[in-house]
Structure 1
Amino acid sequence: MFTSTFTFAKGDYDADFFALDERIAAVARSIPGYLGEEAWENAATGLISNVYYWDSMEALQQLMSHPAHREAKQAQAKWLRGYQVVIAEVVRTYGDGGIAHPLAETTPAH
């Protein structure tokens, strides 16, 4: 399994930003191998992170090669004050089952 984490500093959003953002999210959710997502905001820094979970690198690469993703990458400076993307392989997940998580059902607890 893999994660793609997109962390960014908010800029000035407009209708085009929201439309493209929703299009990319819909594309991600339609890709076989998409497992779920989470979003986090750090109140101290104002940064936002969107974490997408994938069952394979191939599934993740489908999103990265989609025209909507490439369009957003080219236009990001209009809406954001900076961004960072981290692609990571999931080695293990575990928890007590007390909260829902996109990977809770995909790997056994260790």
Structure 2
Amino acid sequence: MFTSTFTFAKRDYDADFFALDERIAQVARAIPGYLGEEAWENAATGLISNVYYWDSKEALQQLMEHPSHREAKQAQARWLKGYQVVIAEVVGTYGDGGIAHPLAGRDTR
């Protein structure tokens, strides 16, 4: 399994941002191998993180190569002060089942 974490500092959003953001989310959710996503905001820094979960690197690569994703990379400076993407391989996951999570039930320890 893999994660792609997109962390960013936002500027002002407009209708184009919301439309493109929704299009990318729909594309991601339609890719075989998409497992789920979550979003986090750090109130102290103002940074926002979107974490997508994938069952393979190939599934993740499909999103990265999609035209909507490329469009967002080219236009990001309109809406973002800066961003960082981290791609990571999941080496383990576990929990007690008490919270909903995209990887719940996939315990690997």
In the superposition, the TM-score normalised over structure 1's length comes to 0.97
**2:36 matched to which residue of 1?**
36
* 1:35-87 deviation line (CA, Å, top 9, x unaligned): 00000000000000000000000000000000000000000000000000000
Task: After TM superposition, give the deviation of residue 105 of structure 1 in Å.
Answer: 2.0
**2:78 matched to which residue of 1?**
78
Q: Which amino acid aligns with 2:105?
A: E
**1:26 matched to which residue of 2?**
26
Q: Which amino acid aligns with 1:7?
A: T
Aligned length: 109
Structure 2 segments unaligned to the other structure (5+ residues)? none
**2:104 matched to which residue of 1?**
104
Identity of aligned residues (%): 87
1:12 aligns with 2:38: no
CA contact (8 A) 2:95 2:107 kept: no
**2:46 matched to which residue of 1?**
46
In the superposition, the TM-score normalised over structure 2's length comes to 0.98
Moved over 4 A (4+): none
Question: 1 CA distance for matches of 2:33 and 2:107?
Answer: 14
Q: Which amino acid aligns with 2:33?
A: G
Question: 1 CA distance for matches of 2:88 and 2:50?
Answer: 13
- Greater mean alpha carbon deviation, residues 48-57 or residues 94-103: 94-103
